[in-house]
Amino acid sequence: MTPTARPDAPFPRMTGVPFDPAMFKDVRVNLSATERRAASLTTRRSVKKDHQAAWLAQAITCIDLTTLSGDDTAGRVQRLCAKARQPLRADLMAALGLDALSVGAVCVYPTMVGPAVRALQGTAIPVASVATGFPAALTPLPLRLAEIRYAVAEGAREIDIVIPRELALTGRWSELYDQIAQMRAECGAAHMKAILSTGDLRTLGTVYKASMVAMQAGADFIKTSTGKEEVNATLPVSLTMVRALRDFRDLTGQIVGFKPAGGLKTAKDAMAWLILMREELGVRWTRNDLFRFGASSMLGDIERQIEHYVTGRYSATYRHALA
């Protein structure tokens, strides 16, 4: 890890690098070896009792609490933001000895950014917005860039862009780099997460290359999925992306974050991905400036597991509603 003044010191924001296909063109990803390593992650490390509760509390701080439904309303977003402000009940907070806890961000569609910003006023919780023709990225580039500008103007501090999968599937890496670089420029001070839609990319080699191109173009985070694909975040795909992130750091000295999204629903999922980050990159990559979950229902299950830790009893899932 790049040395810093203290272990939790923030890293400089990454700037990207000129397009360089030599960084990825000859890379091959061994599927069976990747699957074996991914399968071993959750069997080699066991986290129990006090330590598990601490890991789950940490996981909460890394959640991008998300609503991306066609029937979203300002009222639903406001209720989600209330949960973001206090993701755990007060009695559970007290039992864990926590004074304050909040999620990493609230993620919504561009038209819901305004209501989210107002609902989170007075907190440090950022509003993230999907953009660029989410989830398919099949609108013309000028419209995708305009959507970023709109979300930023509404107050979004993080933008989750979607890459056009055609460019990755056909190996048009220079074009992909140029489009992502334009998106990064439109984000301005807002951090940009590049969604690769890995379930559509077919091979781990393509996932690795798309990860590298997105980072070269200036993505602050690389993200697995929109949550709308048939296959979303998996441990083998995530391992491939994390290895690309590590290679990029070693080659350029620049630090990029990682966000798995789609299909992550349980506290067990949270533990598995935290173990991945700790094993592959170290403890520093389990903090929310470098790691996020794209999830909503995961929070309810984490709260339920923490209640079991505190009381010794499992409660019904309906007692942990999000909004």
| Cβ contacts of 172 within 8 Å, gap of 6 or more | 166
Report the catalytic residues: 160, 223, 259
Neighbours of 74 (CB within 10 A): 14
- What phi-psi label fits residue 34: left (phi over 0), alpha (psi between -120 and 50 degrees) or beta? alpha
Residues 195, 40: contact at Cβ < 8 Å? no
What number of other Cβ atoms are within 10 A of residue 206's Cβ? Answer: 19
Please give the Cα distance from 322 to 82 (Å, whole number): 9
Question: Pairing mode, if any, of strands 221-223 and 257-259?
Answer: parallel
